[in-house]
Amino acid sequence: MIEVEDLTKYYGGKRAIHDLCFRIEKGEIVGFLGLNGAGKTTTLRILGCLILPSSGVVRIDGMDLADSAHEIRKRLGFLPDTPPLYDEMSVQDYLRFVAELKGVSSKNLRRYVGDALATCNLNEVAADNISTLSHGYRQRVGLAQSIVHKPSLLILDEPTSGLDPVQIVEMRELIKRLGGEHTVLLSSHILTEISQTSDRLLVIDRGKLVADGTEESISQQAHGSAQGGVLELEVEGDGDSSAEQARQAIGRVPGVIVARVVSKQARRARLEVECSDDRRSQVARAVVESGLGLLLLQRKALELESIFQRLVHPSHPQPPST
């Protein structure tokens, strides 16, 4: 469906994305994950035939984007970060206009617009002016315009931004339902969001692809071995140096790769320990033998949030998980 090779884009002298390579199969829902400014929007805009890459090859359904952009646009639905709505039109007229613009034949027009209205739950506002709609509805009209011509490829840039929690759930369900008939690419900087809708994640950081796969495979990639893991512990000592003391003691346990102090209060400290395999009992003994109190010791659940942090900023310590 989509093949991307060595995709690079410069804005002036600034490199927005750098040598991206990935493949996306038909019917997949793929999430692009990255911080603001990581290059998600640039990548999606290239795939959406809005801008040309500086170098690299993009093939969609076997057609080269540089040669057949016009042809590709017919099978493409695109929702930019701000939905492209004409405020003075009614929802219905607007969708009709978009459908015709995308080349839907007059025979199918009424049915396609009806389908889009129904899919996005817009029937009750179909006759309203777009300028009168709330943000949530505007976002839904934006989604409706991207699917009204039943495209095979759907590109959604931050589809849930600015929505309230109820609307986010609705939007998520909607996108999941679309996955069957369309290939869907979406982007977000909110992990929980995107991991629930997507079959696969592409993590982009500073213009580079840093991870590609399902949530589990990315988590393994981020932590090296599947056997190993991260332990979380809380210790209690007398002096200010107790945290450092614990860190050193744990660091001497064989099998421990690295121990970090995550947070320190007056007498208590939280640490994180990365080990090659399960070393809970040894770590516990080391803490107790160094004269400190062990308040808590558990395996840390690997959240996408922390994986993401590590992929994006490998050198920084992880923030405490709550």
Please, which residue, 153 or 311, has the CB nearer to other proteins? 153
User: What percent of the residues of the chain are helix, what percent strand, and what percent coil, each to the nearest 5?
Assistant: 35, 30, 35
Nearest-5° Cα angle at 97, 42 to 84: 30
Q: How far is residue 227's CA from residue 312's CA, in Å, rounded to a whole number? A: 23
Q: Which of 83, 197, 187, 191 is nearest to 135 (CA)?
A: 83
Name the minimum Å distance from CB 219 to other proteins.
34
* Neighbour tally for 46: CB within 10 Å: 23
Please, which residue, 81 or 236, has the CB nearer to other proteins? 81
Residues 6 or more apart in contact with residue 177 via CB below 8 angstroms: 119
Please, which residue, 139 or 242, has the CB nearer to other proteins? 139
Residue 264's SS3 state is strand
The residues of the shown chain that bind other proteins, judged by CB under 8 A, are 48-52, 70-71, 73-74, 76, 78, 80, 82-89, 93, 97-98, 100-103, 145
Please, which residue, 117 or 259, has the CB nearer to other proteins? 117
* Neighbour tally for 165: CB within 10 Å: 7
Q: How far is residue 212's CA from residue 209's CA, in Å, rounded to a whole number? A: 7
Please, which residue, 68 or 263, has the CB nearer to other proteins? 68
